Copies of this chain bind each other. A is one copy, B any other.
Amino acid sequence: MGSSFGKIFRLTTWGESHGPALGVVIEGVPAGIKIEVGDIQAELARRRVGQSKVTTPRDEKDAAEILSGVFEGRTTGAPVSIITYNKDADSSKYDNLRDVFRPGHADFTYWAKYGHRDHRGGGRSSARETWGRVAAGVFARKILASVGAEVYGYAREIGGIEMQTFDRDEIERNIVRCPDPVAAAAMVDAILAAKEEFDSLGGVVEVRGVNVPPGLGEPTFDRLDALIAQAMMSIPATKGVEIGEGFATARSRGSLNNDAFYAENGRVRTVTNSAGGTLGGISSGEEIVVRVAIKPTSSVAREQQTVDVNLEPRTILVEGRHDPSVVPRAVPVVEAMLAIVLADLLLQNRAARI
């Protein structure tokens, strides 16, 4: 259970890191959306490994095939199935991890839950699963585009280095996806230094929803905030999520934190946006602003203390090539999840009034 997300626009991902293939099935994609496989491939390229010196040099072709739900370049309303085949990955390097639990990974908890697990590369718990989310996100983005809305994200902070300036155009110009080129350069240095020290860095991804119409979000448990939180915290390596001023509001006062309303061009607007675009769990029309805490990669090329399935102490050295920081590659995943939440709520909202 638990591999599906969404009520109308509903995706189900499947596949293991070293299994034959991975994929996603998306139900509830409205008919009539123009799509081609290149749209998906372009987005997948942003989360690919090996795209720069700050990502793992592994090579995954990630070629997407659309197997259903699209006919003559447009969606039909039928479930959309998208698949990618894993190339013949060398799983032998995981042989020595078959019975041992890597710290920071899901090895132990999957074993505790299921008794039986695919230990190769994390199996189902691998972040490779997010491939399908990014593919599904392309459809979600197109649904949002139909009302003029879009999402975009960036690395706000890596290894304690926070951006100080903001230029949206800068984001895709640097390999860490930071809107501040100076901070970006420092982030790159920090990542490469951590890599040399056989260590890894965490960071914060910020994502925004722009031109999102007011009214999205379903009280009470499917508040926009709640679904965003679920979506973000379902991404591997995330440990926190906040919206608008987030944890800073805990130290603020009502008189400062409330966003005053005014009218502009026939629309209700707020002077400030402490709330991050959502009031009472429903979008206000202001920018949706979300930050996601990403932990440092658990796979570090150092000796670590652990135990095996027989509860015997073991010392392990996790081999393989891993991202010294997953933040840059997490950006398109975080974006995809925000797009998916918003697209689903946009479709749900069509039933809000008689």
A178 to chain B, nearest CB (A): 14
Q: Report how far A209 CA is from B298 CA in the complex, Å.
A: 24
A77 to chain B, nearest CB (A): 4
In the complex, are the beta carbons of A263 and B25 less than 8 A apart?
no
Given contacts A117-B71, A234-B221, A353-B115, contact A296 B252 (CB under 8 A): yes
Most buried by B among A15, A77, A245, A297: A77
Given contacts A215-B109, A221-B4, A268-B108, contact A247 B351 (CB under 8 A): no
List which A114-144 residues lie within 8 A (CB) of chain B: 114-118, 122-125, 129, 142-143
What bracket does the count of chain A residues touching chain B fall in? 35 or more
A114 is contacted by which of B200, B228, B353 (Cβ under 8 Å)? B353
In the complex, are the beta carbons of A79 and B12 less than 8 A apart?
yes
A339 within 8 A of B: no
In the complex, are the beta carbons of B123 and A71 less than 8 A apart?
yes
Given contacts A106-B280, A285-B112, contact A240 B239 (CB under 8 A): no
**Chain B residues positioned under 8 Å from A239 (CB to CB):** 225, 242-247, 249-250, 275-276
A241 is contacted by which of B199, B229, B350 (Cβ under 8 Å)? B229
A52 within 8 A of B: no
A227 within 8 A of B: yes
**Chain B residues positioned under 8 Å from A311 (CB to CB):** 263, 266-268
Q: Report how far A229 CA is from B240 CA in the complex, Å.
A: 8
**Chain B residues positioned under 8 Å from A68 (CB to CB):** 14-16, 19-22, 124
In the complex this chain forms, how many copies of it are found? 4
Chain A window 306-348, contacts with chain B (Cβ cutoff 8 Å), 1 for yes, 0 for no = 1100011100000000000000000000000000000000011
In the complex, are the beta carbons of B281 and A234 less than 8 A apart?
yes
Q: Report how far A12 CA is from B4 CA in the complex, Å.
A: 10
In the complex, are the beta carbons of B3 and A253 less than 8 A apart?
no
Question: Given A2-B221, A71-B118, 16 more contacts at CB 8 Å?
Answer: A2-B218, A3-B78, A3-B219, A8-B348, A14-B67, A14-B79, A15-B68, A71-B117, A125-B281, A157-B251, A159-B253, A202-B249, A229-B241, A240-B240, A250-B294, A261-B307
**12 examples of A-B residue contacts, CB within 8 angstroms:** A33-B354, A76-B123, A103-B259, A104-B259, A202-B251, A221-B231, A229-B241, A240-B241, A247-B247, A254-B296, A255-B300, A258-B298
A13 within 8 A of B: yes
In the complex, are the beta carbons of A124 and B249 less than 8 A apart?
no
A258 is contacted by which of B103, B241, B279 (Cβ under 8 Å)? B103
A12 is contacted by which of B12, B67, B259, B352 (Cβ under 8 Å)? B12
In the complex, are the beta carbons of A201 and B253 less than 8 A apart?
yes
Q: Report how far A115 CA is from B33 CA in the complex, Å.
A: 11
A7 within 8 A of B: yes
In the complex, are the beta carbons of B115 and A31 less than 8 A apart?
yes
Q: Report how far A254 CA is from B197 CA in the complex, Å.
A: 11
In the complex, are the beta carbons of B221 and A5 less than 8 A apart?
yes
In the complex, are the beta carbons of A246 and B240 less than 8 A apart?
yes
Q: Report how far A233 CA is from B224 CA in the complex, Å.
A: 9
Q: Report how far A181 CA is from B194 CA in the complex, Å.
A: 42
